[in-house]
Amino acid sequence: MNPAVRYIPDLVYGEIAGFRPLELDLYLPSSPSPAPVIVHVHGGGWRRGSRRHPLPRVGADFYERLAGRGFAVAAVDYRLSGEAVFPAALGDVRTAVGWIRKQAADYGLDAGRVFLWGDSAGGHLALMTALTGAEVPGSEVQGVVAWFPVTDLAGLGSDVRDAGGTPDPGPESREALFLGAAAADVPDLARAASPVAYASAAAPPVLLLHGAVDDLVPPAQSIRLAEALTAAGATVELELVPGATHFWNGAEDVDAIVRRSVEFLHAR
């Protein structure tokens, strides 16, 4: 652990009867407070993953390095699909954002500069939270970074097929476990669980970064959301990373992707 970064683990941000406590870890920078905050949402197909395990290609010290660039980082866990189906995980991330705002003064955080950042399924949850923030007072954010996110659950299978991958339309697919049923069987729910359905001029600034040859969550997902946000008059930036598949495998310079993301948030 970087001695310049203060680490506060295992903070309970929410409690739901019948479930484990919902926890986050805080990484606080040494720079003068109040510090802007990144609420980081891990990926894992909504069914696995942990706040303690960032993407391998960004390194185990990922949160510390973000703190070294002046951001407080709240790495959050949420209920996985084996514990509860949609909208449980979305509610958890909203609760985490609200907790950060309420506790800001206690930890030297800037409640007026709270951002979301997530990858894959975490990118989906970050976008859902950001784009629906007006629906839940206290969960609004000032910007969101999403790496290779799912944005359109109903269209995911056909996008995977078009990208040369193998779609899984069955009841054990990641999206079916998340929704509680195959997306094709619950089209209204799949739409309600898709960020693309919430594109509006009121959206906070969005940065979408996606591997150009990703066939697990194809870039068509980010392209579709970027087009919808642009049409709605929102601020959105989209970059496709040449040669990169999911998890930034094949990307030549992952540090540059991180820098691009940090610069986007610093400008907000």
Q: Identify which of 161, 148, 176 has the alpha carbon closest to the alpha carbon of residue 46.
A: 176
Q: Which of 97-111, 129-143, 191-205, 237-251 has the lowest mean pLDDT?
A: 129-143
Contact assessment for residue 132 and residue 198, using Cβ atoms and an 8 Å cutoff: yes
Crossing angle for the helix pair 121-131 and 88-107, nearest 10 degrees?
70
> 6 falls in which pLDDT band (50, 70, 90)?
very high
Predicted confidence at residue 138, as pLDDT, reads: 87
Strand partners, 114: 37
Predicted confidence at residue 31, as pLDDT, reads: 80
| Residue 164 buriedness (CB in 10 A; 0-12 / 13-18 / 19+) | exposed
| Residue 179 buriedness (CB in 10 A; 0-12 / 13-18 / 19+) | buried
- pLDDT higher than 80, residue 106: yes
Strand partners, 206: 144, 236
- pLDDT tens for residues 207-263? 999 999 999 999 999 999 999 999 999 999 999 999 999 999 999 999 999 999 999
- pLDDT higher than 80, residue 32: no
What would you measure as the largest C-alpha separation in the chain, in angstroms? 52
- What does the pLDDT average to over 154-179? 93
Q: Under 8 Å CB-to-CB from 252, ≥6 apart: which residues?
A: 242, 243
- What does the pLDDT average to over 3-24? 93
- pLDDT higher than 90, residue 170: no
Between residues 168 and 112, the one the model is more confident about: 112
- pLDDT higher than 90, residue 60: yes
How many whole angstroms separate alpha carbon 124 and alpha carbon 114? 17
Alpha-carbon distance values, 79 to 62, 86, 103 (Å)? 22, 10, 22
Q: Under 8 Å CB-to-CB from 35, ≥6 apart: which residues?
A: 28, 29, 70, 71, 72, 108, 109, 110
- pLDDT tens for residues 128-156? 999 998 888 889 999 999 999 999 999 99
Predicted confidence at residue 80, as pLDDT, reads: 97
The pTM of the whole model exceeds 0.95: yes
- pLDDT tens for residues 68-95? 999 999 999 999 999 999 999 999 999 9
Predicted confidence at residue 21, as pLDDT, reads: 95
Average pLDDT, the chain: 96
How many whole angstroms separate alpha carbon 195 and alpha carbon 151? 5
Q: Which of 3.40.50.1820, 3.10.580.10, 3.40.50.1860, 3.40.47.10 is the CATH number of 6-266? A: 3.40.50.1820
> 190 falls in which pLDDT band (50, 70, 90)?
very high
Contact assessment for residue 29 and residue 71, using Cβ atoms and an 8 Å cutoff: yes
- pLDDT higher than 80, residue 102: yes
Domain-by-domain residue ranges, the chain? 6-266
How many whole angstroms separate alpha carbon 173 and alpha carbon 263? 35
